[in-house]
Amino acid sequence: MTTQKLERRLLTTEFELRTSKTADGMHIGGFAARYNTLSSDLGGFRERILPRAFDKVLDTDPDVVALFNHNPNFVLGRTSADTLSVRSTSKGLAFDCDMPNTSYARDLSESIKRGDIKACSFAFELDDNDQEFGEEETDQGRMLVRTIRNFKALHDISVVTSPAYPGTSVDARNIVAAEVRSMLQTRNDDTAFKADLAKIRQGIDELTAAIALRKQERATVRQRRQNLLNLM
């Protein structure tokens, strides 16, 4: 069993930006994830989210926060505070957020208006049975594709400036690709171990059968010997 880690995904989107219903901030809306759309190359594999993949986790009423660049110091909204709503639509994971009347939220609103910031991301976790891997023909040739059927957890949706993790220059796709390769290797190792175990069990069964046959042969020999002694 592999241990799943927090992952993040980036999506370029068109934000809806308007005056907040509270009249003291700004409202922002958009999509944090799209269904049935192949991602870009995430470092040796691509990814697709199936429709309704968010249904199960959303049914648990998770406390999701909206952040700027996944930074918990820049909170834009929260589902438990009714300032953020997330929902699954036919297109994907949609969100609506009433941003606070804070300096960083006002600055963000201006950057979105100017078109300087136009990407969204979400942080999530998966279990092994939430996903499957297979090779497919894509517009980039034959590639490994990860298909996500369900999400174990949804932590945050974030307005982001770049696909890199905040505070680093390492692209998220390289980190995730390494985790996926490690997970696949672990699964391959598990498969090899199970195959070896099956061979060992088969060998034990064959040895047990051979011992039983040998005992039967010895018993037959002893019986014949006894029969000959009885005739003398």
Task: Indicate the pairing of strand 84-88 with strand 92-98.
Answer: antiparallel
Confidence of residue 169 (pLDDT cuts 50, 70, 90): very low
Give which of 54, 51, 49 is closest to 132, Cα–Cα.
Answer: 49
Comparing 173 with 72, the larger pLDDT belongs to 72
Tokens, residue 180: 């996926």
How many Å separate Cα 50 from the centre of its chain? 12
Task: Indicate the pairing of strand 16-19 with strand 26-34.
Answer: antiparallel
In this predicted structure, the answer to whether residue 196 has a pLDDT above a threshold of 70 is no
pLDDT (0 to 100) of residue 168? 31
Tokens, residue 143: 């590639």
User: What are the tens digits of pLDDT across the range 49-84?
Assistant: 999 999 999 999 999 999 998 899 999 999 999 999
Its pTM stands at: 0.64
In this predicted structure, the answer to whether residue 217 has a pLDDT above a threshold of 50 is yes
Confidence of residue 232 (pLDDT cuts 50, 70, 90): low
Lowest mean pLDDT among 1-15, 129-143, 209-223: 1-15
CB 86 within 8 A of CB 93: yes
Confidence of residue 119 (pLDDT cuts 50, 70, 90): confident
pLDDT (0 to 100) of residue 52? 94
pLDDT (0 to 100) of residue 151? 93
CB 196 within 8 A of CB 27: no
In this predicted structure, the answer to whether residue 2 has a pLDDT above a threshold of 50 is no
Task: Indicate the pairing of strand 84-88 with strand 71-78.
Answer: unpaired
In this predicted structure, the answer to whether residue 166 has a pLDDT above a threshold of 60 is no
Place of tokens 């009714």: 82
pLDDT (0 to 100) of residue 171? 41
Q: Residue 153 is which amino acid? A: A
Burial of residue 172, with CB atoms counted within 10 A of its CB: 0-12 exposed, 13-18 middle, 19 or more buried: buried
- Which of 125-129, 159-163, 211-215, 228-232 ranks highest by mean pLDDT? 125-129
Tokens, residue 139: 């517009």
User: What are the tens digits of pLDDT across the range 16-51?
Assistant: 655 555 555 688 888 888 888 888 777 778 888 999
If one counts every other C-beta atom within 10 angstroms of the C-beta of residue 109, the result is 21
Burial 119-145 (b: 16+ CB within 10 A, else e): bbbbbbebeeebbeeeeeeeeeeebbb
